[in-house]
Structure 1
């Protein structure tokens, strides 16, 4: 009874190191790990010990006999990753070697102190890697009163299993030498240089918070927005709670066909009563109950073989939603399938080939995948009425009516105040996470996650990315390249509170978290607060720790 990794896989990699027979690949030390759509268990090598189940932070692994109907395709997908062995036993080995944690060489001036800016997966994995060593203190700064970045505000509400990774982050945050400074904006409340006065190093894990913009006429019209903003809106991000969303039209067009586009289309066509059992924002649920959307068109510039969505997400979409193709796109799928050599691409095309035809009677909200459509302009005068496309590679023009247009063509990093920035790549230039200004390192400055490598990979990809940065940082510290801070550890708390009096600490976050869960009343995972003022009011309900205890805590860290 081999175990199977399902579409909930976040590529964290913990299962790899838990496996006693090295049957989960690609592993973080293998070249294909960074670009793999998921990890795969070798059914011939699996010894059914269940160690991977315990290690997985998102509950994505189960015995093949306990899979839902939606998950059954993953039996073949896991097995298909491994070559046929013609009856030979699979190669097994000892426990996959866990990469050594970076050894911090203690010095007389006190512990290694690191400030991490951002609190998403890259930040939390970096903190975890640092705190494997004694004599290290980590302070995490986040501009929102709530932590965990896209794990909280980016994962779709109907993907609750993926959100379980925040339980791992909670355990990291509970460590003695970890401290949250939430509702504090670095670059506004505090500067980079001021953080360096209190730390040996500052590590930025601020992600890629903006979108690549579609530069065509009409994108400035009302309800022409980005999928990223729409995702933040339905996930209750306070910066987007008041986003103008109009679902009164019968069609929504999403330009781009990556996983985010599929998330948006799935939420727009989902049964509201089903979403009511998730942590979707109340304002979004109310709007979706009133929605008149009958069709979401996901439009891609290229053909089916170049689809940007992953195979697991496509399987999940087609299992839950009515997905169709036009006749000409069915023909494109057949042509691409005849030429496909890559296994994952072939599997995607096989699924696409079995989709229904768009000419079938519409019985409920549906999703239409459309290919070879290059947007030329958004139509409308006072508001959006549709999109004009050119058929890619031809002079043909096609116009589709729509009441709302969302673009989903990629994320982009924003400049970090005080650090160099590569405008073309949308990242902070770096070498292994060490920030560079030209060829010269910027003292004490490091990056991890999307601001380091660009918006690629999955939640767990940030684990190996953060580990590389931490190894670089610790090597610099051990080499004497990071001078001791000018202030003692006990001075930081007073300094931050002086600059940001409404700072939210770990106790404040626990109060917000508990209140949101309680608002769910056992029927929903949580009901999120969507206004900063609400969050601060709840956080302030926790009695403040007396000043003398905060000072003592700082001295003992």
Structure 2
């Protein structure tokens, strides 16, 4: 029996476990610092995208397979080190994702009112780290920096009416704050143009059906329509939607506007003690397709600035780390002997949820080829002894099922669940009938 530890219980971690199980003869422990599994599915996917969150049922089947354990509330570094995991297990797989926001790197990006998308998304999705974020929603103008789907998610959440959240699992504190929001103008900044966006048609199309907000695009930002033919089908559909937004007259019945400001690069954020405006430089594409500043600048009012420009994995003591790329250097997933990376920890924050599946299968095959069938390591038994000696009480999958049942039972009328957002509450719900 081979013993494998996976650090991180998001899509990359579960797809890797699924792949390892297909090879047989393996015992798998999936560790997470939070008491709840699923990572990006719970805390990253927008609360109004319940169909995407349904993939968690696939991961649940993996977690309930004999030989697989989920151990939440286990902190890498505090409760167990990588060196200790390598001592107890035949292979260790880092599936930590990329939970850290990348800074804008411009003057004023540390002012109150400037928020990274991981923090903002975590706030409305009930991540315990961001339950107290309290984004400024009392002023009219918000600016979102980035041209990917996360920027669209943030804009859509800001623009929705309370009624449009029906069926979602948005947490109560965010639902109430957004219901009282005074934000009416949302500007999405992109350094390049419509042909260079990383926005998919489904997410873009949703903006055209909002009850109280209308998307706006300047027709002058588009290249000649004939050039759309060179785009791949998905990108071409996205650009078609943007062109349709540009051709639609303003809807005076909708009080909110989502404006796409292309060829626009933020160069500073200004304000007296907190953000009040973003200084933007107009850009133009060079022959290499990269955006270059033109020297022309203008100011956009903004009391809320959300940066959606990418993420990075957390550095781990003793593990090589690429500061520029924000991930662990690896060769097809291999970091060092018996130590692997999958998902965003391997590739950086790119691709969709499904992109993590081939990653997991490739690393599972590498482990199968590199690790002998007969293991002399302690695996779960050794880890359990270590954690007990340090007073760490893991949350098992059966405990998570109690948490989930409590959340579903507490759901407000018309909502999918009411997430617990405080660690003590999560732990109490998981252990309630054990007291």
**1:504 is matched with which residue: 395, 409, 430?**
395
Tell me the alpha carbon deviations over residues 256-312 of structure 1, each in whole angstroms, 9 at most, x when there is no partner: 110000000000000112215311111101101110011211111111111121223
Structure 2 Cα separation of the partners of residues 149 and 120 of structure 1: 4
Structure 2: which 5+ runs fail to align?
Answer: 285-293
Structure 2 Cα separation of the partners of residues 360 and 522 of structure 1: 32
**1:218 is matched with which residue: 97, 108, 117?**
108
- Residue of structure 2 equivalent to 1:344: 234
- Residue of structure 1 equivalent to 2:366: 472
CA contact (8 A) 1:507 1:542 kept: no
Structure 1 Cα separation of the partners of residues 260 and 250 of structure 2: 13
- Residue of structure 1 equivalent to 2:275: 384
**1:294 is matched with which residue: 158, 161, 184?**
184
**2:157 is matched with which residue: 261, 267, 272?**
267
Structure 1: which 5+ runs fail to align?
Answer: 1-110, 436-441, 545-557
Structure 2 Cα separation of the partners of residues 179 and 525 of structure 1: 26
1:451 aligns with 2:345: yes
1:462 aligns with 2:351: no
1:13-412 aligned within 5 A: 111-320=1-210, 322-326=213-217, 329-333=218-222, 335-340=223-228, 341-342=230-231, 343-356=233-246, 361=252, 363-393=254-284, 394-412=294-312
Structure 2 Cα separation of the partners of residues 125 and 346 of structure 1: 31
CA contact (8 A) 1:295 1:366 kept: yes
Taking a change above 3 Å as real, the CA distance of residues 163 and 489 of structure 1, as seen in their structure-2 partners, is closer
Q: Counterpart of 1:429 in 2: which secondary structure?
A: coil
Greater RCO between the two (CA within 8 Å, min separation 6)? 2
- The more displaced of 158-167 and 197-206 is 197-206
TM-score norm. by structure 2 comes to 0.92
Number of matched residues?
422
- Residue of structure 2 equivalent to 1:417: 317
Structure 2 Cα separation of the partners of residues 302 and 229 of structure 1: 25
RMSD: 1.9
Structure with the greater alpha carbon radius of gyration: 1
Deviation at 1:251, TM superposition (A): 1.3
Structure 1 Cα separation of the partners of residues 234 and 414 of structure 2: 38
CA contact (8 A) 1:336 1:349 kept: no
Deviation at 1:359, TM superposition (A): 6.1
TM-score norm. by structure 1 comes to 0.73
**2:376 is matched with which residue: 456, 466, 484?**
484
Structure 1 Cα separation of the partners of residues 127 and 379 of structure 2: 35
